[in-house]
Amino acid sequence: MVELLVYVLLFYVLHLFLRMSFSLHKVPFLEWTYTGGDISNMTDLSARMTLAADNLRQSLPVFLVFCVLSLINNVDNLMLAKVWFGFRILYLIGAMLNLYRFPLIRPVIWLPSIVALVMMGLNIIS
């Protein structure tokens, strides 16, 4: 579980850099380095990466808490954690490929990750 936690945190760092990386040809690096920077020329891909990162930030704290509680309470939630992580990777790929412009694609990818979180929590309290 600890190894998976490290991979998830590295994935989060990747999310942070993707937003900037896909717009460096339109927005100078200096503009990304401070809060008053003008990033209005951000590409559509960077905007989608921003939304995907925001979505990850909504469930990541719950995931991290459940992982730590699983470790402390010696609950085997590794498979569910891997499922959550797999769907988060799929979510990022879907954002990169702009799949979410089609109805119902986003919930089909997002909802199983939430179900995995709920199941992790239920395993902890049972």
Contacts of 119 (CB under 8 A, 6+ apart): 80
Rg (CA), the chain: 16
pLDDT of residue 24: 78
Q: What is the mean pLDDT of residues 65-92?
A: 96
Token pair 């609950």 in the structure block, residue: 75
Contacts of 7 (CB under 8 A, 6+ apart): 85
pTM of the shown model: 0.88
Query: Residues 17-31: pLDDT tens digits?
Result: 888 887 877 888 788
| Structural domain boundaries enclosing 89 | 2-125
Residue type, 29: F
pLDDT of residue 26: 81
Mean pLDDT, the chain, rounded, equals 91
Inform me whether the pLDDT recorded for 10 exceeds 80.
yes
Residue 41: pLDDT band (50, 70, 90) is confident
pLDDT of residue 8: 96
Using DSSP's 3-state secondary structure scheme, residue 52 falls into helix
Which phi and psi angles does 22 have, rounded to 5°?
-80, 0
Under a CB-based contact definition with an 8 Å cutoff, are residues 81 and 119 in contact?
A: no
- CATH code at position 18: 1.20.120
pLDDT of residue 38: 80
Number of separate domains in the chain: 1
- Rounded to the nearest 10 degrees, the angle between the axes of helix 2-21 and helix 78-96 is 10
> What CA–CA distance (Å, rounded) separates 58 from 111?
13
Residue 97: pLDDT band (50, 70, 90) is very high
